[in-house]
Amino acid sequence: MTEGPTRTDFDQYMIPTYAPASFIPVKGKGSVIVDQQGKEYIDFAGGIAVNALGHANEKLKQALNEQAESLWHIGNGYTNEPVLKLAKQLVESTFADKAFFCNSGAEANEAALKLARKYGHDNHGAAKNEIVAFTNAFHGRTLFTVSAGGQPKYSQDFAPLPGGIKHVGFNDLEAAKAVIGANTCAVIVEPIQGEGGVVPADRAFLQGLRDLCDQHDALLIFDEVQTGVGRTGQLYAYMHYAVQPDVLCTAKALGGGFPIGAVLTTDKFASTLSVGTHGTTYGGNPLAAAVGNAVLTEINQPVFLQGVQDRHNLYVSRLNEINEKFELFKEIRGLGLLIGCELTAEHSGQAKLISNLAAQQGVIFLIAGPDVIRFAPALNIPEQDIETGLARFTAALEIYLRKE
């Protein structure tokens, strides 16, 4: 048993922004974490789709330790070797010509929206400032990104909110056509809505947005904070759809647990953010970039990405077997290792309770709203850990149904 701070210390010293679990993890290896009492849990949450290579990955540790022996931080009055290598990797692996680095997904989306507004202003005048986003979207917690997100529960207490943002239904192309026009500077969309319930976009919807943005010289921004870096079985989800954005925002898994975010774009738009128009103290930090390089080198390989798809198939097969037994899920959906199980109407609102019961059985996962159980494990999770974790999940469901 490890002695240390307790859950009571959280209540005493921390601003109550979160409601963390009663147990405190202290150690992790691969897809297993251990709490202060020595109890083990199979990790199907992946730090909210962050720990793409699991906990304490040897290659990431090596990259971090080697960089820590040389240069930690220098600031953006200078460049550094790791960030130049990471930019090269991302550009050569995607549609992009240029990269900008920051520290989180929210910052990446914030920068992308600022880029779009400035491009519209510079090229078409001040009136071209409208942003189109979608209901149930999630783009971060800054005032700008939470306003672009389509979930009022996250923004309603912080009014007045930034204006010029319109929301329409996700996967509703006709609704989008009705609001995208001459004054639209950007359309921001998740290829798969993560926090909104693990809802994949239709290809025709994304292609339609692409066409509308081309028609009105608006930027098509893909928020791939959750879907990027191998999560869907491709390096980025846009590759599944064969629809190319103008700007792509990436974070979460890019650092494998070390904070980093990036904006990827083409030469046409990159020049908009000229010297002094945007910046960040820690963005492009050598430590973060070194880890990001190691993450991309490991994940951006055909064999690794095929392994993500193989694990998806195993998950879905086992989840369908579970559903045949319990009839709890209305739908099982997602791509790669971003999988959502939507509960039936009879069990509406019970995702959090099921998550708590599962933790008692030794498996942790995410929820996406009150009705969706979300799996976002390490992309290299061993198949045996999938089997063990789903067996514990099954035990939790049996307890849940007995309590009904």
φ and ψ at residue 337, rounded to 5 degrees: -105, 40
Rg of the chain over CA atoms, in angstroms? Answer: 21
pTM for this model (two decimals)? 0.96
| Alpha carbons 154 and 147: distance in angstroms, whole number | 8
Q: Which domains are seen in the chain, by residue range?
A: 7-56+302-403 (3.90.1150.10), 59-299 (3.40.640.10)
| Alpha carbons 47 and 251: distance in angstroms, whole number | 13
Residue 271 CB neighbours (<10 A): 12
Per DSSP, the three-state class of 124 is helix
Q: What is the pLDDT along the chain (404 residues), one digit of tens a residue?
A: 456 898 899 999 999 999 999 999 999 999 999 999 999 999 999 999 999 999 999 999 999 999 999 999 998 899 999 999 999 999 999 999 999 999 999 999 999 999 999 999 999 999 999 999 999 999 999 999 999 998 899 998 998 999 999 999 999 999 999 999 999 999 999 999 999 999 999 999 999 999 999 999 999 999 999 999 999 999 999 999 999 999 999 999 999 999 999 999 999 999 999 999 999 999 999 999 999 999 999 999 999 999 999 999 999 999 999 999 999 999 999 999 999 999 999 999 999 999 999 999 999 999 999 999 999 999 999 999 999 999 999 999 999 999 76
Task: Give the pLDDT of residue 404.
Answer: 67
Asked if 168 contacts 178 with a C-beta cutoff of 8 angstroms, the reply is yes
